[in-house]
Chain A
């Protein structure tokens, strides 16, 4: 994740962001998929910078399309499209992808898990990250989530600072090596 992280590093005072936020979030529709796929790919390519094990597959675009189609059909999934405002209204400039899932062994039992957040560079900063996170959290809560979690490459310090600033702490880690 990068978009919100970058904006987070430069976000203004909490609560001051809404009037100047240059985007508007709404649930994604099937018609958005062709514009959401490249945004998702940009995010995955950014992740690629952090670790060779995050190298993007050749067929990532087809995968993204199928996943987004499945998400839109799944009531446990959340896909939000960020639109520009003013002259950029109707232009999709960002995506939030998340899922509500059960935690079978732990309590609270329902987790809203943010998988992907991406915003085109021009629409970052100005408290946009704050806004995305807030909107995503309340949409996940409405779907039954009791906690919100987020995943991103371990080396992405911008993202980890962004979430730390907003009260997130690491609870599990995924470690990898090649076989």
Chain B
């Protein structure tokens, strides 16, 4: 198949897989319109949607495999070892790029996507002579646009898609796990199939709380989540990632708060959403910086406009830093320096770091990394299938996915931040997991810790290792969550491990599938042969990357030491969980007596997942296992900035990863051995303390009360945040409201009173002064008249007298005053 039609086929398949759950969501949310509360049909609808989605995704993966002639599965590194060769191939691709762009299926090839098999592998059965020429034209990633969201002059925002092997792996993984979990949930949520669901954890003023069951609602939320998650994976630009980022956030909010009547659940949901928003605040800053300086959100190049990856990394995978180290030159689609108005376009190096850290802040929120990790344990308020799907396998891994996807934009400094955040997280969470007794919360802390591993891996440039662990972790952690769900359902909603014990006799399938998960996460393997379950390989890979990094940068030795120690801690608390729950004698007879194995609809997904948890990293007859197995190859195939040689920038060295002579490969054996020793140590301690009970854990607890309380209080983060953020926000908000009432309104009221006062004065002035003058004129006239009326006697003779006198006076005046 030619690249263009392959791209279209992949896009169509994945789009169907993406949109089916949305259709499911719309149908299920109104399920009561055409069905009744006691029917399971809503669940079947959801399962059908996501199941079809899985089929589509798997077909897409196979299509990809066929199109690349299996090269993607078996040989990821071949091309990268011969850099020059890759350059030549890139030139050859240009015409094809041009041909494809009219169809909106532009091949994204920021780097040497050369897949031909220069390099030899012992077991490479798929190698054939034609392959090299055949899929030389097959790009490393396909991308295109669904439709435009907005356009402002030269600025363009659209909904895009970006498909590479990572996308395909994520799609297949998410849809598969989601299908399993949907099936499991049919059994787990069957309590909701009732008109009168009684919730024992909620008390009302009338006693017990009952409500109609919300079976269909649960599945509609799950479908909404699947839609958002797949959209996030399919997204072709960072803005679109942000859109779906928030949508998975809101699905998570709805699912955590599924038991809306429980205060703890709705509070946990709020906490999850708001803490994610804190991370998104950083994300937004990153978006703003990139938007302002690069003017695009695209990952891949569109036509001749460069995407972000090309802009920052060019075609050679290197950041083009100016002489003084303060500016980074942006590159156009051909890898040359981008120019605008005759000046080269640049972005400040510090700004690029800020952008990277900002985007990573979003990842911190979503993946519950330090310092925003506290929401995830609380999120366990949701039903267990939710914890399995959203809060272990998929959504929380989205942070890691984004960090990996956005890897080309991260400078070494950002990577260092990522590594340290991951490092701190994995240690903090693992230590808390040591003392937690709620079975789900142990798993929650374990999830945080494992996500920390992944972040660390990406930070130390172990790109493939981090994503490898993401996939293996998704399988074994969702498996373990489902097992814990099975236990919780079997024990009638008891979650405290001290009340369990010996359950393996009552629920064997759950117990032993769980054991597979525990072994996988602990990274146990058969020494010498180096055969283990999936987690062994991926953790091995991470530790090796970390070791290579700390070898290259001696200052950062903690980045290696911490994951190594934590590997032991991990093994310890996971085995502690298993021993406490399934091993030994029952500690609460009542719980034990009423406990039963889960029905088949719940155990089948457990078995399916346990098979993959055990085996997904194996070679299956191809080139090898672990980092030479098909899964790892498939993931590493889409690495956008492969490190073929050690690169040093600003004093930070990124060790080389690709091939048999790389820095990582050199330390692989040593690192694997150390990790294995740590894991065994942890597991043995767990057995001694909780299995054979040779060591009494209570004794240790008594001897270290401070540490124990500190850990039990989750390092007191909640208290700290409450004092640092929650209360100040409330205080400031009270200030603002008061300011309105007491200052702004007071000013307004004061001005109103002043106006009234002025009006009063005005009235007074009017009444006294203005009216006074007028009245005075009148009254004076009147009084003069009164005084004159005395003369008017009415006596005739007197008048005559006046006349006479008047005439005399007149004459007198005339004669005296007139001149002669």
B partners with A: no
